[in-house]
Chain A
């Protein structure tokens, strides 16, 4: 899926979250958004998901995601940065996602298993009672259970331990081979392993757009904004 952003601007009250971002991501390309906290990475991802009304334009394969959310969301998977503090149980959430996506529940269960999450054992556990790592695994399982053409991930491995992170990389390679990826991350290993291109945001603006192996990417991630 191709992503086109043209002069994207978003303001929350006095805060200028995005200030005229223009970006073109070709179908199948993998791009990381990096930058300090508050640089507009999450806002940009949410705008691409059609969750925010912005000035400028967002197009996914030529369509506005704000207007065509349902049609596009069938082909998009999203891992938010902060897991919802849902009172619903893991089983309820998995069943709801399976139902609205027209998925077999086993697909979610198997994906969860691959990332070391036992969905059966957690069926009755409220999502908000899971640990940070478990919540993140659940969100990844929900996102990667179905084949999609665009993956949007906001710090997907921030709460994962080393084993789970390796399992995630394997799962990603297996399930999302041809998909476009838009990733927000502070982690150099994650960026290096998942993307081809890095876009640096600061103050809601694009300040650099470079291949992932450029030296300034390492400098940015290791020294300036390391979490």
Chain B
């Protein structure tokens, strides 16, 4: 009979053990497959309709396909990130998983780090494979030049946006206990993030006679809007392309700083949400 002798276990070993457990859950739920399939379907759609059409916003060929894909993802990624993270802690609390895990010698930070790494990785990894794969496919199959600069920009913006809503999703998951209320909060966050794009806001401004600074502030605080502007920061700065908020910011900040701000703000929002969630998890009841 093997005698169970415990030895001191290093922090990375414990985080890795928890991450393996979480990854098993992600793979079983087919979340990774769903994300990959969705990204691939969108990519196929935009390749099918995009490569042979005329230039859009100054982008042609593969750059246009990537622009269209990323534009669609800017709206979709928040929803995927919210649904991929928003239920994790709330469900683990409800089904007894936290009670079992925290009877083991692990810290709340270790658990939270493992969950964050796996969930963010599950959302981002398929994208990291798909976008360069798409560009290389376009080069091989259609003899299109690979737009490396735009590709890098699209990947960075997507990562920032995913992080933003991963942090917000985890914040909701830690704070709210009932799963139906969690779903409601996630839906509200997503709807607001899509509704508060500047085109929607201009409609509000006209209908409710909102002052322009309010509209600009609301749009500027929306990570989806800022990510969209970061994506388009290399485009010709026209009102039609960027929208009123983007046009104003482009003229005020310039293309480079618009990109920097457009990536930094979603990262900041995500980090704020993540830190708030971690603080709550550290200080509150686990069950």
Contacts and interface: CB of A to CB of B under 8 A. Distances in A.
Contact of B286 (A51, A71, A99): A51
A93 B102 contact: no
A92 B4 CA distance: 18
A46 B98 CA distance: 12
Given A51-B102, A78-B103, A97-B104, A111 B25 contact: no
Interface in B235-287: 283-287
B18 interface: yes
Interface string A126-158: 100000000000010001011100001000000
Contacts of A177: none
A107 interface: yes
Contacts of A88: 21, 24-25, 28
A92 B24 CA distance: 8
B3 interface: yes
Contact of A101 (B2, B18, B105): B105
A100 B9 CA distance: 6
Contact of A80 (B4, B103, B105, B108): B103
A53 interface: yes
Given A69-B107, A73-B106, A103 B4 contact: yes
B107 A51 contact: no
B8 interface: yes
A99 B17 CA distance: 6
B209 interface: no
Contacts of B96: 80, 82-86
A73 B4 contact: no
Contact of B105 (A70, A84, A107): A70
B6 A147 contact: yes
A33 interface: no
A195 interface: no
Query: For chain B, which range describes its interface: under 10, 10 to 19, 20 to 34, or 35 or more residues?
Result: 35 or more
Nearest to A145: B4
B13 interface: yes
A49 B105 CA distance: 11
B29 interface: yes
A87 B14 CA distance: 20
B22 to A, nearest CB: 9
Contacts of A46: 99, 287
Contacts of A69: 102, 105, 107-108
A76 interface: yes
Given A92-B21, A100-B14, A84 B100 contact: yes
A150 to B, nearest CB: 11
Contacts of B99: 46, 51, 80, 84
A96 interface: yes
Contacts of A50: 102
Given A73-B104, A86-B95, A52 B18 contact: no
B18 A96 contact: yes
Contact of A52 (B29, B97, B107, B287): B287
A175 to B, nearest CB: 9
Contacts of B49: none
B25 A51 contact: no
A208 B128 CA distance: 63
Nearest to B7: A102
A53 B285 contact: yes
A109 B32 CA distance: 31
A126 B25 CA distance: 10
Interface in B78-97: 95-97
B5 interface: yes
Interface of B: 1-9, 13-14, 16-18, 20-21, 24-25, 28-29, 95-100, 102-108, 283-287
24 contacts: A53-B283, A69-B105, A69-B108, A73-B104, A73-B106, A74-B6, A80-B99, A86-B97, A87-B24, A93-B100, A95-B17, A95-B20, A99-B14, A100-B13, A100-B14, A101-B104, A102-B7, A107-B4, A110-B1, A145-B4, A146-B5, A146-B6, A147-B6, A152-B103
Closest 3 CB pairs of A and B: A107-B4, A84-B96, A78-B103
